[in-house]
Chain A
């Protein structure tokens, strides 16, 4: 497990030294500035506009990092063969995968936190006095990070058995479908065959429910988030990540390197 930590820290160092990451952060700051300007032209609802735009920007940029860097975590190492020297050392394949996941999750945590601070400063700019409900923004940022960790796990799983391009498509596809899991559950079952009904029901529980992590509306209206929801989402993300990473480990442990 200690070796997974060593791999994670190196993955984090790679992301920090990667200039693409800084460009995305710069983009985030531009988005924050844009949200302030948009807020100024939205009379009476500046706070709502800033929070909605800010959280959307954090989510979008985080997703780009999670999908593109997440897919490259393993595939890049295999393509460039940097993996060979490492796996010939006393490191197990699951330690390598866990380290890679942990490193990017840590990178995302810092990025999301940095972008969260940017959003917070934008809010301070338009609303000097804070209420307790305004803390919901921070919980919304935390939920975005949970969602991104889940996306990284999926990207890692797909990159273990398919090409980077397909892994990006699969991860993006699952993410998009995962936003509409609730709609899938609420589909009018009476118009479908019993087999289709059962399939849809199972599929809706099998797919990750990304909409669980979206509390943008609550944050925009400064509504407090129940503690149970925080615990439930944390547990859901942890269990789902564990399941997906276990699948990735099972695939990768049997994979022949080129």
Chain B
């Protein structure tokens, strides 16, 4: 059995702060998780939750206070690990005096690619991220979205086995986001492992085989989006129209959108509600199950975390 693409064990990061750096602020607390080979893993959490800290620890841009991590079976302190890993930093910025083609050529040299390989890979990658016509323009003239594409290009330039993307959709317009999603899906088709952080939950739901939810520096759940949100039905929703005036008491609970009404009822009370509405002259258009979304799961965690933080603050006083 092959080793997980990413494996962390009690990975923690504290930053000193305050007068004389005597206080400690915990950015990441005992993170233990695995990302399996060939999967798309979404790392989701609000701003400041510890997503970027985790990724920077994995990339050795910062050093852990405690714990360990392995990437593709190698400890993260092994520089050779970086040969098979591509990384897109959050809000990437590159040498603005270079053109995109020059920047990619520079990074390809760092990866020890031959001249022929460099030429081929630079052209292919620029085309893949939709920058083939802008390759000879200096990066200082690039928009934020274009820089994000360059960032994506340098992450996949050397055909890595594992690609770690920190907020890859950030700063992209809808077309750019669609293209970024396509690149991520292409990587999975090629058998690569992708881990990306995001706070855009629809992206995670759409792309990820599994997601990890991190809030307040702690991992709160790992699983498929379906496992994380409650798979049981939260209730039923009835969509209906009214032909004339209606006095049914249920109507007070319905939400009106144009000529149509939506009414949420418990599963057990569905038939009773339908009968009442029909008796009142309503035309039933649709009945559907209501399921919790990843967003609801996420917001519940965030609110619980805020409540806990507030409680700690009050007890501290």
Asked if A84 lies at the interface with its beta carbon under 8 angstroms from chain B, I say yes
A180 to B: closest C-beta gap in Å: 34
A80 to B: closest C-beta gap in Å: 5
Stretch at the interface among B1-9, B82-90, B184-192: B82-90
Q: Write out the residue numbers on chain A whose beta carbons fall within 8 Å of the beta carbon of B111.
A: 89-90
Asked if B297 lies at the interface with its beta carbon under 8 angstroms from chain A, I say no
Task: Check B97 against A89 for contact (C-beta < 8 Å).
Answer: no
Task: Check A87 against B97 for contact (C-beta < 8 Å).
Answer: no
Across the interface, name the chain B residue whose C-beta is closest to A79.
B93
Task: Check B94 against A82 for contact (C-beta < 8 Å).
Answer: yes
Task: Check B97 against A18 for contact (C-beta < 8 Å).
Answer: yes
Task: Check B61 against A257 for contact (C-beta < 8 Å).
Answer: yes
B132 to A: closest C-beta gap in Å: 21
Stretch at the interface among B28-36, B102-110, B251-259: B102-110
* Distance of A13 Cα from B54 Cα, bound (Å): 34
Task: Check A10 against B106 for contact (C-beta < 8 Å).
Answer: yes
Q: Write out the residue numbers on chain B whose beta carbons fall within 8 Å of the beta carbon of A86.
A: 107, 110
Q: Write out the residue numbers on chain A whose beta carbons fall within 8 Å of the beta carbon of B97.
A: 13-14, 17-18
Task: Check A82 against B93 for contact (C-beta < 8 Å).
Answer: yes
Mark B4-44 against chain A: 1 for CB-CB distance below 8 A, else 0.
00000000000000000000000000000000000000000
A118 to B: closest C-beta gap in Å: 26
Task: Check A88 against B59 for contact (C-beta < 8 Å).
Answer: yes
Q: Write out the residue numbers on chain B whose beta carbons fall within 8 Å of the beta carbon of A14.
A: 95, 97
Q: How many A-B residue pairs have CB under 8 A?
A: 71
Asked if B283 lies at the interface with its beta carbon under 8 angstroms from chain A, I say no
Q: Write out the residue numbers on chain A whose beta carbons fall within 8 Å of the beta carbon of B80.
A: 90
Across the interface, name the chain B residue whose C-beta is closest to A83.
B61
Interface size for B (C-beta < 8 A) is 30
Task: Check A6 against B109 for contact (C-beta < 8 Å).
Answer: yes
Across the interface, name the chain A residue whose C-beta is closest to B151.
A85
* Distance of A85 Cα from B61 Cα, bound (Å): 10
Asked if A254 lies at the interface with its beta carbon under 8 angstroms from chain B, I say yes
Which residues, 122 to 156 on B, are CB-close (under 8 Å) to A?
Answer: 151, 154-155
Task: Check B106 against A88 for contact (C-beta < 8 Å).
Answer: no
A199 to B: closest C-beta gap in Å: 27
Asked if A92 lies at the interface with its beta carbon under 8 angstroms from chain B, I say yes
Asked if B220 lies at the interface with its beta carbon under 8 angstroms from chain A, I say no
Mark A48-81 against chain B: 1 for CB-CB distance below 8 A, else 0.
0000000000000000000000000000000011
Asked if B92 lies at the interface with its beta carbon under 8 angstroms from chain A, I say yes
Q: Write out the residue numbers on chain A whose beta carbons fall within 8 Å of the beta carbon of B94.
A: 82, 85
Q: Write out the residue numbers on chain B whose beta carbons fall within 8 Å of the beta carbon of A2.
A: 112
Question: Which of B79, B95, B112 has its CB near the most chain A CB atoms (within 10 A)?
Answer: B95
Q: Write out the residue numbers on chain A whose beta carbons fall within 8 Å of the beta carbon of B88.
A: 85
Task: Check B95 against A89 for contact (C-beta < 8 Å).
Answer: no
Asked if B56 lies at the interface with its beta carbon under 8 angstroms from chain A, I say yes
Mark B57-88 against chain A: 1 for CB-CB distance below 8 A, else 0.
00111110000000000000001101101011
Asked if A176 lies at the interface with its beta carbon under 8 angstroms from chain B, I say no
> Given A91-B110, A92-B79, A81–B62 Cβ distance below 8 Å?
no
* Distance of A17 Cα from B85 Cα, bound (Å): 31
Contact check: which of A6, A84, A256 meets B92 at CB < 8 Å?
A84
Task: Check B63 against A256 for contact (C-beta < 8 Å).
Answer: yes
Which residues, 229 to 258 on A, are CB-close (under 8 Å) to B?
Answer: 254, 256-257
Across the interface, name the chain A residue whose C-beta is closest to B138.
A17
Q: Write out the residue numbers on chain B whose beta carbons fall within 8 Å of the beta carbon of A91.
A: 79, 82, 110
Question: Which of B62, B97, B112 has its CB near the most chain A CB atoms (within 10 A)?
Answer: B97
B150 to A: closest C-beta gap in Å: 9
Q: Write out the residue numbers on chain B whose beta carbons fall within 8 Å of the beta carbon of A84.
A: 59, 61, 87, 89, 92
